[in-house]
Chain A
Amino acid sequence: MDAIERYEFGDYIEACKRRGERGSGKRGDFTYEELKRKVQEFRGEDS
């Protein structure tokens, strides 16, 4: 993941949280495993 993708992924995850999605970590944060799945979703590799 290069810097631009990393920055955009951070905004994607933030948008997910603002839509009400919650991870199972502290304060609803996504765990490392959940984030790995989110990367696939972000890249469109989950379908």
Chain B
Amino acid sequence: MNSSLIEFQKGTGPSRDDLPRLRGYVAQLVGEPFQFARVSYGDELTLHFGMLRPARSRKLANLLYGTYILRLRGSPWVLKSAKGPLVISPAVSGVSMPEGGRLLSKEELEKGEFIERGSHVLSATPVHVRPVEGYGFHLVISDGSAIFVYPIIQEADAPEDEGLPELADWELLSPRGLLRVGPGLQWSFEPDEATKQ
């Protein structure tokens, strides 16, 4: 049996409809420890993994970042916490509040520790979601938690959004570079400057 070697020095993309290669780029997240969740501007959930580093900007003196950041952009997601609760993003449509459910503030989402800090990524799998022709993302954590990210259903731009760059469905920023996935079945990888050949 042959093992696979993945080099990250060269960029790629935009690649289209190439799930096997995308799996290779995403595999770098496997084994990294979960650190924390943070909600960024636009209500974008970011999940931080790996070692912690301080912010580069002096304006964010007390903020820490994981060396691996999974950014879910505006995509819908569902988090199954090993502690029991299910956390569903506002972007998931067609879900009405069941008995026992309640709205969760950004601060509660960040402080809830729905994934146990220090638990490790067991699998990171992009998924071709055929009804919307985009790539979802399934993440399984060693504490028993899991998260599924759906690709965004593409709609025509509002007049004020015309001409703006396309938003990815989700991104993975790592020491090796930036992986952008979506919209649709396209993805690209831009190596970090220090990694480039």
Contact = CB atoms under 8 A, between A and B. Distances in A.
Task: For chain B, give the interface size range.
Answer: 20 to 34
Contact of B56 (A8, A14, A18, A44): A8
Interface string A13-47: 11101100000000000000000000000111000
Contacts of A17: 41
Contacts of B46: 7
Contact of B60 (A2, A3, A12): A12
Nearest to B193: A2
Given A7-B69, A9-B57, A11-B41, 20 more contacts: A2-B193, A3-B171, A4-B56, A5-B56, A7-B40, A7-B46, A7-B173, A8-B63, A10-B44, A11-B38, A11-B40, A11-B55, A11-B63, A12-B57, A13-B41, A14-B39, A14-B41, A15-B60, A43-B57, A44-B58
B65 interface: yes
14 contacts: A2-B193, A3-B190, A7-B40, A7-B46, A7-B65, A7-B69, A8-B65, A10-B41, A10-B44, A11-B60, A11-B63, A14-B40, A17-B41, A18-B106
B42 A10 contact: yes
Contacts of B39: 14
The binding surface of chain A is classed by DSSP as helix
A33 B13 CA distance: 30
B130 interface: no
A30 to B, nearest CB: 8
Contacts of A15: 60
A5 to B, nearest CB: 7
B59 A42 contact: yes
A8 B41 contact: no
Contacts of A8: 55-57, 60, 63, 65
B120 interface: no
A15 B190 CA distance: 28
B173 A3 contact: yes
